[in-house]
Amino acid sequence: MHGRRLGQLFLAAVLVFAVAAPAAAGGRDHERKADTTFGSFVTLAGGEGLGYTITGRAMMWRTHRHGGTTVVKVHVRGLDATTEYPTHVHNAPCSTDPAGGTHYQHTVGGPVDAVNEIWPTVTTNAAGNGHGSARHDNWARPDAMSIVIHNPADTSIRLACADLN
């Protein structure tokens, strides 16, 4: 029940933020336009093989304010306690092979780093519940389609994925 309540509070906060932030910008139309997508995590075969059952939600909020901004927030359950998980926005849906395709990049073919890519790294608490967020000064294109949580011991193993719809 606590997990469901946390999810409801997260969704309520996101909706308030999505409505209030553009309204607070005031003035010009292009400053008020925003795009918000959400997704639910599913455990991938790599996660199942390691005994994980991962659930949670992700949100991506894009706005044209300040020349373009993208904010990603992730909330998950079912991971190992007090661990940092590499988490990235990917450029394909979870149903592709491999799940999520490759890392989304602001400049395709550019550096593989937290500046050119969107890395909402997830850090878990003692109960294995984790949160992550990232803010970028770019409007993420439509090919920012999913979020993948990787195994910290072997990042080639994809533990969970959320499509952003």
Query: Considering the chain, what is the average pLDDT of its residues?
Result: 87
**Spatial distance between the Cα atoms of 70 and 36, rounded to a whole number of angstroms:** 10
CATH number at residue 88: 2.60.40
> What integer pLDDT is reported at residue 34 of this predicted model?
78
State how far the Cα of 159 lies from the Cα of 64, in Å rounded to an integer. Answer: 32
At 103-147, the pLDDT tens digits run 999 999 999 999 999 999 999 999 999 999 999 999 999 999 999
Domain that holds residue 109: 2-163
If we measure between CA atoms, which residue out of 159, 150, 149, 117 comes closest to residue 134? 117
- Report residue 114: phi and psi, to 5°: -70, -5
Q: Write down the pLDDT at residue 4.
A: 52
- Confidence (pTM): 0.81
Note the pLDDT tens digit of each residue in 143-154. Answer: 999 999 999 999
Provide the number of structural domains found in the chain. Answer: 1
Q: How does DSSP classify residue 68?
A: -
Phi, then psi, of 67 in degrees rounded to 5: 85, 0
Phi, psi of 100 (to 5 degrees): 85, -5
| Cβ atoms 82, 126 nearer than 8 A | yes
| Tens digit of each residue's pLDDT (9 = 90 or more) over 40-97 | 999 999 999 999 999 999 999 999 887 899 999 999 999 999 999 999 999 999 999 9
Q: Which of 22, 118, 14, 90 is nearest to 57 (CA)?
A: 14
